[in-house]
Structure 1
Amino acid sequence: MRDLVTGMRYLGKGQRWVARHGRWWGFGLIPALIALVLYAGVLTALAIWSGDIAAWATPFADDWGSPWQGLLRGVFVALLFAGGLMLSVLTFTAVTLLIGDPFYESLSEKVEESEGLCPPGTDRPLWQEIWIALRDSVHVLLRAAGFGILLFLLGFVPFIGQTVIPAIGFCVSGFFLAVELTSVAMQRRDIPVRERLRMMRGRKGLAVGFGTPLVLLFLIPFIAVVLMPGAVAGATLLVRDLVADEEEPPAADPAGAPYGQPAPQAGFGPAPGHLPPHSGRAPRQSPPAPHPQPGPGSSAGRPPTGW
């Protein structure tokens, strides 16, 4: 729960950052607007042809009577369009990041500079950066598609498929959306995609808390365009703290020992101030050591020379 709230806070921090830097907010709108036009056309075509797709996918129901045929194909159309919307949310971010790679790279660098330190980057040519971003996005989307197919099939389970499964689907979409949005700052640090997924899986609550509200908001027309620059800014702030947590060494006290462990003591026996409790009896006194007797030729008892 704590990570969920922290993820939401990073989303709010990113939106506040672009609100204070209006020029960068407008700069980040350009690739999102281009992607919005493309996706509006695709979703419109899906809505028009979804009935024909449902009939093609369920030929076994051609001879079914009313209302079962209409009910089955109506559920299929609803799930198909819902799946298309979720897939569009995931791929919208990936496509927008690909279209606007130079835009969002500059925006992310500006966010890091405003926080006091920006990693130098990898100095790769632009075409290579775009190719790596495309390859990594395909890797992430294939994983997301696997979960999407499973959730789509579970959607036909009565009651659970219409209540629990959609909620799980939003959380899964939010996780992968967070992975996509953090790719700009992660790629600057030359962190490979498998390592990014490992880091985000280690903080699932953080990723879900950041990405799931965006998934829900991106379902509202035009909101994705407005929020995209702030989402990139918030993801950059999230990566800064996530990487710092991964690299932070164990704390140590001034004596050089990690906190929670006693500092090494010189010599033998317990440290001063930490003597073991006695049993209530008087401590045993050791007999005094015998005084050594001077032997022949020894200098004991003579005055020191040089007086």
Structure 2
Amino acid sequence: MRDLGTGFGYLAKGQRWVAGHGRWLGFGLIPGLITLLLYAAALTGLALGADDLIAWATPFADDWSSPWIGLFRGFLTVLLFVLGLFLAVITFTAVTLLVGQPFYESLSEQVDKSESPDGSAPESGLPLMRELWISARDSLRILVRAVVWAVLLFFLGFIPVLGQTVVPAIGFCVTGFFLAQELTSVALQRRRVEVREQLALLRANRMMTWGFGVPLALSFLIPFVAVFLMPGAVAGATLMVRDLRGENELPPRQPNPQGVQGQAPGPYGQPHKPGQPPQAQHPQQPQHPQPPHPQHPQPLRNNPYAK
């Protein structure tokens, strides 16, 4: 049964996988560090300029008396920064995946090879620039959906009581779902699965998706944690994709009465080895009929010599 625990289990398995493959852990940290620097600069600029932005957006409150103007604009400033932080959490993975597309493609492919019985991994067969274009296009589509949800939850946050209890919980569920989609898209794009099919697959396994994405969204609120969890998150998402597509289930071995590679079985039921001529079976020795034992002729009744 695919439930919350199953999704969290794949998140933990991904972290254990990269921990056991230290080279891939360091390899996967590079895109996250680059994206973290970009987002840190953007959030710092938002924090420094939020007061001026709110004052510019609310000229009607200039004539309000103190302390109402300070409380009103202070509340909007905090709300604006929370909205920016919410968008940063949602889009961090998408931007990191876009920046580190070659890095995470190689990481996901290596996870597939380690889990495949024959050591192979699915390949899209597309050129690198085409893959980058598809990744950017799909990330933009997901970003638009995430912004719509962010704006909706922003206004729902003004509802008393519900805005401080239910709405944040819904926000983390939405964030976790989009995080899971962005991470699984690395493995699904190599399997030529379009973004609509990706969303439909995750919606059909919503509990498992939340179990994977919501803990990750909560951990992303802690500074620098997202950078170190990203390689393991990509590995865990690849493992989850293999489960969702049934690739971990091996088909039962069917008996082959024709021997190996469709060849006829050799003598005594043993198959011929490839590249070797079949061994001739020993012909059965013909059995010579034994001559019948001579029988004494029966005496004739009219034989004058019979005694």
**TM-score when scaled to structure 2?**
0.77
SS in 2 for 1:182: helix
Aligned to 2:225, which of 214, 223, 226? 223
Paired residues for 1:238-257 under 5 Å: 238-244=240-246
Counterpart of 2:159 in structure 1 is 157
Counterpart of 2:175 in structure 1 is 173
- 1:66-122 Cα offsets, whole Å, 9 max, x none, are 332222222212221111112111211111111111110010011111112544312
Aligned to 2:185, which of 183, 186, 195? 183
Give 1:61 shift.
2.0
In structure 2, C-alpha distance between the alignment counterparts of 1:156 and 1:4, rounded to whole Å = 30
In structure 1, C-alpha distance between the alignment counterparts of 2:14 and 2:38, rounded to whole Å = 26
1:131 aligns with 2:133: yes
- 1:38-76 Cα offsets, whole Å, 9 max, x none, are 111001001101111222222222222233222222221
Counterpart of 2:144 in structure 1 is 142
Counterpart of 1:278 in structure 2 is none
Paired residues for 1:262-301 under 5 Å: none
SS in 2 for 1:244: coil
Quick check: 93-102 or 70-79, which moved more? 70-79
- 1:156-213 Cα offsets, whole Å, 9 max, x none, are 1122212221121111011001100111000010000011011111111111111111
SS in 1 for 2:65: coil
Quick check: 49-58 or 145-154, which moved more? 49-58
> Looking at CA atoms only, which structure, 1 or 2, has the larger radius of gyration?
2
In structure 1, C-alpha distance between the alignment counterparts of 2:127 and 2:85, rounded to whole Å = 34
Counterpart of 1:105 in structure 2 is 105
| Runs (5+) with no aligned partner, structure 1 | 250-307
Counterpart of 1:51 in structure 2 is 51
1:207 aligns with 2:236: no
Whether contact under 8 Å (1:28, 1:103) holds in the other structure is yes
Counterpart of 2:62 in structure 1 is 62
**TM-score when scaled to structure 1?**
0.77
State the superposition RMSD in angstroms.
Answer: 2.1
Counterpart of 2:195 in structure 1 is 193
| Runs (5+) with no aligned partner, structure 2 | 252-307
In structure 2, C-alpha distance between the alignment counterparts of 1:174 and 1:126, rounded to whole Å = 28
Quick check: 117-126 or 172-181, which moved more? 117-126
Counterpart of 1:6 in structure 2 is 6
Query: What is the letter of the counterpart of residue 136 of structure 1?
Result: D
Query: What is the letter of the counterpart of residue 21 of structure 1?
Result: H
Structure 1 residues 123 and 2 mapped into 2: Cα distance closer, same or farther (>3 Å)? closer
State the identity as a percent.
64
Query: What is the letter of the counterpart of residue 150 of structure 1?
Result: L
